[in-house]
Amino acid sequence: MTPERYKRLRDTLIRRQPDLTVLAESVKKSHNIAALVRTCDAVGVHQLHVVSPGGEFQRHHMVAAGTQKWVPTRPHESTTEAISDLKRSGYRIVAAHLSEQATDYRQVDYTLPTALVLGSELTGVSSTSAQLADEHVIVPMRGMVDSLNVSVANAIILYEAARQREAAGLYETSRLPKDVFARTLFEWCYPDIARRCRVRGRPYPLLDENGFFSSNPLA
């Protein structure tokens, strides 16, 4: 760990948004899974929620190979369970879904706690998601096709959310709880030592301004 690497990791974590997330519902194609995770990281999503009955999302190499270190995924047994959990946590549920009540995605206030629901490649969000969502949004289409690829729609909507949040100053200081920030930063900086600390039941050591710790936590 170098001071430069530590600073980059710390600055990235400062920009993480604890109240902006995505619920991916039955997304199966590898290139879409990879793009979803990369976009979530790019805009500062702290955790990605997943409903994947067949397990395709969890088995994808982008997740299995360690991308979850930057954007951990939280699996749910069902859409109902996932949305209920998100609502209990204070999220407003915004589904990317074409319906009579759908509004332009730019008309939503994403500075509020928001969970964006994205459906499968073939059928979109499920009827359950559509019914449980607080709002439906669409990306206006000006051609012959009715909708965008799920990963493209995710990127467009999340970057609008990021634009609004940047204007509101939500990226300027860390909004994660202090204990979550400290734990996550140590796990980003020293993943192997963090794993061994957890196995042995040892607390993580404090890091100084350069990302170093003064004593061996495994000694």
Q: Tell me the per-residue pLDDT of 3-18, one tens digit each, with 9 for 90 and over.
A: 999 999 999 999 999 9
User: Across residues 168-176, what is the average pLDDT?
Assistant: 97
Phi-psi region for residue 211, left (φ > 0), alpha (ψ -120 to 50) or beta? left
pLDDT tens digits, one per residue of 137-166: 999 988 877 777 888 999 999 999 999 999
Q: Which CATH class is domain 18-167?
A: alpha beta
User: Across residues 197-212, what is the average pLDDT?
Assistant: 93
Q: Which three-class secondary structure state does DSSP give residue 144?
A: coil
Q: Which three-class secondary structure state does DSSP give residue 205?
A: coil
What pLDDT does residue 53 have?
A: 74
User: Across residues 79-104, what is the average pLDDT?
Assistant: 94
∠ CA(102), CA(77), CA(131), 5° rounding? 20
Query: Would you kindly state where each structural domain of the chain is located, as residue ranges?
Result: 1-16+174-219, 18-167
What pLDDT does residue 65 have?
A: 52
What pLDDT does residue 19 have?
A: 97
